Chains A and B, each alone.
Chain A
Amino acid sequence: MQGVFPRIPSGCAVSGMMSRKGRRLSGEDIIKSIGLMHDRSNGLGGGFAAYGIYPQYKEHYAFHLMYHSQESKRATQEYLEKYFYLDQSEPIPVRKTPGITNPPILWRYFLKLREEVLVNANEFLQEEDLIVSLVMHINQEIDGAFVASSGKNMGAFKGVGYPEDIGHFYRLDEYEAYIWTAHGRFPTNTPGWWGGAHPFTLLDCSVVHNGEISSYGINKRYLEMFGYKCTLQTDTEVVAYLIDLMSRKHKLPIDIILTALAAPFWKKIDKNRPEKQAILQAIRMVYGSALMNGPFSIIVANSKSMIGFNDRIKLRPMVAAEKDDLLYMASEESAIRVICSNPDRVWPVQAGEPLIGLVEEGTL
């Protein structure tokens, strides 16, 4: 789907919850949590990411597609079949919901890569690189088709409307996930486009984002040097690609990535012991163009973790809470308390300091 939409500055609400023990929880709570922050959205976008929802297909790539026409669906399927076995192909179940109008054709596929594809491919090509390039191809080249998510045992459910209505529309109360993230959108103009809603995903990584990245211009040009095309013109796309670049291509550990994205101030760096100083200096020198400057609070999730982090002077809100094995993060404390009335601990996520929640090993 070509980038015909102007870049849209937006405000928003975010919420996320995970079980560190990998317990799967119904979508009811996350809908309630994001729904409480109704006034932080304006009805022009809402969405959810859910991990652990397809245990019966957990080795398959779960592709969630949005189609504007039967023709775009036909073209996409034809393209997918060249690379994958389409083990399951079905409409994403929805229910009629007031406030949700004109949805695109919503379809999902459970895909297995054809063995010969990687064999025939360039020997340096990793499976993940291939999947990313296929997703990019569909989004950019196939008219009217958009990949909402492409990871394993996870999915993104998003569209135009208030987030609680989107959750109801997609029947998320019927799914169970060990990580849920949600987003309510307040764009400052009207795209009316389902693909533009959050979460934004690539492979199993999803991003929900409240904020506007004032450094978007250089972040985008930096990514272009590595072959990423920022066609959706949303800040959030940039966040997802930066994380993808640094984790998948540069193989950097997550704490280094987050340090690059919300780097400490030089003043603070200068106070560190020399070895640590050298590391932080190098990160800022080399990844200066990846620094996300401007207000944001972001929840990034993948199949193993949920991470909340803010810009380095915390210009957008984020609160975290814990209760037993459950970890919560949200734009407002009320959005946590509405689903967890008596948390063990509640605290604000600090400026520039990520909160990393890991799913315990061996629990999945």
Chain B
Amino acid sequence: MNYLAPEFIHRIDKDKCRRCKRCILNCGFNALSFQDGIVADHSKCVACHRCVTFCPEMAITVEQNPLTYKENFLWTAQIQKNIQKQAQTGGILLTGMGNDKPYPIYWDHLLIDACQVTNPSIDPLREPMELRTYLGSKPEKLEFNQLPDGNVSLKTELEPQVKLDIPIVFAPMSFGSISLNAQKSLAKAAEQCGILMNTGEGGLHKELAPYGKNIIVQVASGRFGVDSNYLNAGVAVEIKVGQGAKPGIGGHLPGEKVSAEISETRMVPIGSDCISPAPHHDIYSIEDLHQLIFAIKEATNYEKPVSVKIAAVHNVAAIASGIVRAGADIIYLDGFRGGTGAAPYVIRDNIGIPIELALAAVDDRLREEGIRNRASLICAGGIRNSGDIAKAIALGADAVAIGTSALVALGCHVCQKCYTGNCSWGIATQRPELTRRLDPEIGAERLTNLVKAWAAELKEILGALGINSIESLRGSRERLRGIGLDQNVLDILGIKHAGK
């Protein structure tokens, strides 16, 4: 017997309802039915707001179930529910999206500087304001040849670089974890914004091939869809070692989601489970990673930067240093609030560290070792707005990755049920009747709007700071102050407290 009370109460204003049943059609979770009026099965409602958004009469609302539990700070309702679920099923509890627990959000304790009098702020509407960023390994210095005509030519050969018009990339989300229409939206938007999307570990669907100039292809432990064409299909290759939401944990796309298209893209039989092992079985050490990086460089003729994505864990600074020395051109750091399609609850909420601290520690460590130039840093895991981006860049990131923000732009309401495959918004699902709701053109437009809006805001922030180029903010922690942070955290972040 199910001992669980519903989490939400789905309410319909009977006076307003015209019984058009649009809400029933829109619910991906089968929570609504018609029995002489719309009837809700509250226990199935996940508060994804699809029905609320599409009700023409605005007759629907969803509330937290007010059911009172005997007050107890230790044995909260959530804790009790999880125990009930496990007592009933005997399984590992799953969840979707990033860590939602009330750990400190350091972004909200960082304040950005601005110019007053002694140096002028700059008006981005009147003056040029530059966000262009190149990802890739940079040499420590440049060398030039003196030509007889008095000019110089470049002697140093630069490693491959990828241009971003705005220092944002879309986070890796595989075809399988999200729908093809969601991936298409990301690819089109990346093209329109001059940025990059990332295939995730699910291979590259043939319809995405034309967007190769705006794509990072990912190689993860399952190696789905990886062949030589795939490696050369994008502008960069990423080796996924870990993910912020589930460091040290692999992935599992259940066989029922492996349709003909996913099967073709992932190069696996239809209906077979896609298991990504926890480690890469050819990477048991840093020297193994070094070999894989150079195997990929060989396969791509040294024309594409290789990124290594890791989760932010306790010893992240030393790990990052090793990765740079192993030859990575880009390090993608994913904090413990990074999203996921599915992760064990206990892993998501208890493993890893905040991205703000990890980023600062890694940037510091690479500088101390004099190798910061040898890799670009992408910061991910809970970037919510342009303020977070500016702070991440000031802490030392070259660019940020946005996953959840991008999905929210596509309609996601962060209900955290991605792993069920029932996403009413057509994002985290493969059910055709749901995925067709997401029009890639409209999706791309919404994503482009978001990215361009953030770019405009970043320019305003730079202008207030009196600088007209993003590289003058990058790593400039002098322009940040902490508020309400203790000395230990301030030291890790390398910033002063507000007022100092």
Contact = CB atoms under 8 A, between A and B. Distances in A.
Interface stretch (B12-20, B92-100, B116-124, B207-215): B116-124
B153 interface: yes
Interface stretch (B383-391, B449-457, B462-470): B462-470
A293 B153 contact: no
A117 interface: no
Given A218-B475, A250-B142, A252-B144, A286 B118 contact: no
A224 interface: yes
B472 A279 contact: no
Interface string B440-484: 000000000000000000000000011111011111111100000
Interface string A277-315: 011011111111101011100000000000000001101
Contact of A218 (B122, B146, B161, B472): B472
Contact of A282 (B146, B156, B472): B156
Given A188-B118, A250-B141, A287-B142, A214 B472 contact: yes
Nearest to A249: B141
A217 interface: yes
Nearest to A224: B367
B142 A211 contact: no
Nearest to B127: A313
Which residue, of A188, A263, A293, A312, has the highest number of chain B Cβ atoms within 10 A?
A: A293
A362 interface: no
Given A265-B128, A294-B467, A226 B370 contact: yes
A322 interface: no
A288 B466 contact: no
B158 interface: yes
B468 A293 contact: yes
Contacts of A315: 119-120
Interface in B283-321: none
Contact of B128 (A218, A267, A278): A267
B437 interface: no
Contacts of B469: 263, 288, 291, 293
B119 A294 contact: yes
Which residue, of A214, A225, A281, A291, has the highest number of chain B Cβ atoms within 10 A?
A: A214
Interface in B354-390: 367, 370, 372-373
Interface stretch (B1-9, B57-65, B130-138, B345-353): B130-138
Q: Interface residues of B: mostly helix, strand, loop or mixed?
A: loop
A215 B472 contact: yes
B154 interface: yes
B139 interface: yes
A216 B119 CA distance: 12
Contacts of B115: 214
Q: Report, as a range, how many residues of chain A touch the other chain.
A: 35 or more
Given A11-B118, A188-B118, A217 B153 contact: no
A306 B470 CA distance: 30
B67 interface: no
Contacts of A21: none
A283 B142 CA distance: 8
Contact of A291 (B138, B144, B472): B472
A256 interface: yes
B313 to A, nearest CB: 25
A209 to B, nearest CB: 13
B25 interface: no
Q: Report, as a range, how many residues of chain B touch the other chain.
A: 35 or more
A229 interface: no
A282 B467 contact: no
Contact of B139 (A10, A284, A286): A286
Given A250-B142, A252-B142, A275-B153, A288 B476 contact: no
Contact of B138 (A215, A218, A285, A294): A285
A291 B118 contact: no
B39 interface: no
A62 B302 CA distance: 51
B369 to A, nearest CB: 9
Contacts of A275: 153-154
A211 B367 CA distance: 27
A217 B477 contact: yes
B152 interface: yes
B482 to A, nearest CB: 15
Contacts of A285: 134, 138, 158, 161
A267 B469 CA distance: 12
Which residue, of A10, A283, A288, has the highest number of chain B Cβ atoms within 10 A?
A: A288
Nearest to B495: A217
A285 B142 CA distance: 10
Nearest to A267: B128
A212 interface: yes
Interface string B331-350: 00000000000000000000
Nearest to A269: B132
Contact of A288 (B127, B128, B471): B471
A295 B472 CA distance: 13
Contacts of A279: 144, 152-154
Interface string A35-73: 000000000000000000000000000000000000000
A221 interface: yes
A217 B471 contact: no
Interface in B392-449: 394
A266 interface: yes
Interface string B97-126: 000000000000000000101111010000
A188 B146 CA distance: 44
B132 A266 contact: yes
A253 interface: yes
B144 A253 contact: yes
B473 A218 contact: yes
Contact of A286 (B120, B138, B477): B138
Contacts of A282: 142, 154, 156, 158
Contact of B154 (A251, A267, A278): A278
19 contacts: A11-B118, A212-B119, A215-B472, A215-B476, A217-B477, A220-B478, A221-B367, A225-B367, A225-B370, A253-B152, A256-B152, A278-B154, A281-B134, A285-B138, A286-B158, A287-B142, A293-B467, A312-B468, A313-B468
Closest 6 CB pairs of A and B: A217-B478, A217-B476, A288-B471, A293-B472, A215-B472, A9-B118
Given A289-B475, A293-B472, 5 more contacts: A188-B118, A226-B370, A279-B152, A282-B154, A285-B134
